[in-house]
Amino acid sequence: MKLLIDTQGGDKAPIAMLNAVQMAKKENNSLDFVLFGDKKEIEEALGADAKNYEIIQTEDVITNEDEAALSIRKKDKASIVLASKYLVEHDDADAFISAGSTGALLAAAMLIVKRIDGFKRASIPTFLPGLKGPTLLLDSGANVDCEPEFIYEFAKLGSKYVEKLLGIQNPKVALVSNGAEAKKGNELTKKAHEILKNSELNFIGNIEANEILTTEADIIVQDGFVGNVILKELEGMSKVFVGNVKNFIMKDEKYFSSDEMKMSFMKDLMSLMGLTKYGGSPVLGVNKAIIKAHGNSDEKAFYLAIKNTVDFVNSGVIEYLKEN
């Protein structure tokens, strides 16, 4: 499997990405990596190991301050652009992973890699840890401004994704609103509710924000603005919750008799909260695998993004979307 790596995107680039690549290569030598970035910087960081990788020199850098679609055209020697073109031009390239600008990555996915026929928008899904199992959130930030039809497409993409990845037939879809009644919400939400209600999807109605982690729905949908706010709020709440629990158990010996037991409990808790399980999310609805890693990814998080990418490619989700 050949994976393309953006070594320029992300707060901890390039070292976190390069360390993660080396970890993944050591674990699975069948993986081939193509590294996009400053060749001299990459070679200095990898040392003698650099000979084991194909390195593509970049001349431009796209930042979060750049206007997404414009930057793809003006900075055509940036890692996101060059890797996206490589992905299209090389049949043996399986996926591209980046912790860089979400907007630029989505623009490259739409303009270079192109949408799967039948879809107007691509979407970034995120699995949330729920009491009844993982729940898929779409959109989690790719499409801030939406039409009601786009939210239906997110639900359709999510349904096919969950069907293929988790084996759930006829998955349940819910729409996030400020009330359970169909009349609640802004105009976008009310119109999206009407479309979903009359669609072929298994739509179970609106849910409120306090139901997101307890809902029976397999997929929850909203526009990318609301979705990203939900995601960031849950990330913050998770950190506060885990931090408070850690401070609590570390102070009192009556709960755990050893530091080893405490650390084991914290590891299990973080896994349960989903803080260490998912390192990246695919851009759904485009012709090849593009994975968005968190902008603040350290080497462990980016390593998880690589592992999740391998699983995503092997799952055959993109082929399934094309066929269906």
Give me the CATH number covering residue 26: 3.40.718.10
pLDDT value, residue 276: 45
Q: Which residue has the tokens 């593009």?
A: 290
Domain holding 44, by residue range, is 2-119+285-323
Statement to judge: residues 20 and 168 lie in one domain: no
Statement to judge: residues 312 and 300 lie in one domain: yes
Contact 223, 139 (CB under 8 A): yes
Contact 128, 278 (CB under 8 A): no
Statement to judge: residues 45 and 138 lie in one domain: no
Cα 38 to Cα 219: distance, rounded to the nearest angstrom: 40
Does this model's pTM top 0.85? yes
Statement to judge: residues 238 and 167 lie in one domain: yes
Statement to judge: residues 229 and 300 lie in one domain: no
Q: Collect all residues with Cβ–Cβ distance below 8 Å to 249 and sequence separation of at least 6.
A: 255, 256, 262, 265, 266
Eight-class DSSP state of 59: -
Statement to judge: residues 295 and 170 lie in one domain: no
Statement to judge: residues 235 and 297 lie in one domain: no
Cα 322 to Cα 193: distance, rounded to the nearest angstrom: 26
Count of domains for the chain: 2
pLDDT value, residue 270: 65
Statement to judge: residues 82 and 157 lie in one domain: no
pLDDT value, residue 38: 96
Statement to judge: residues 197 and 311 lie in one domain: no
pLDDT value, residue 190: 97
Contact 16, 297 (CB under 8 A): yes
The tens place of each residue's pLDDT in the chain, 324 residues long, gives: 999 999 999 999 999 999 999 999 999 999 999 999 999 999 999 999 999 999 999 999 998 888 888 899 999 999 999 999 999 999 999 999 999 998 999 999 999 999 999 888 899 999 988 888 889 999 998 889 999 999 999 999 999 999 998 999 999 999 999 999 999 999 999 999 999 999 999 999 999 999 999 999 999 999 999 999 998 888 888 778 777 777 777 766 666 666 776 677 766 666 655 544 557 899 999 999 999 998 888 999 999 999 999 999 999 999 999 987
Statement to judge: residues 9 and 147 lie in one domain: no
Statement to judge: residues 234 and 134 lie in one domain: yes
pLDDT value, residue 234: 85
Contact 224, 122 (CB under 8 A): no
Statement to judge: residues 40 and 146 lie in one domain: no
pLDDT value, residue 53: 95
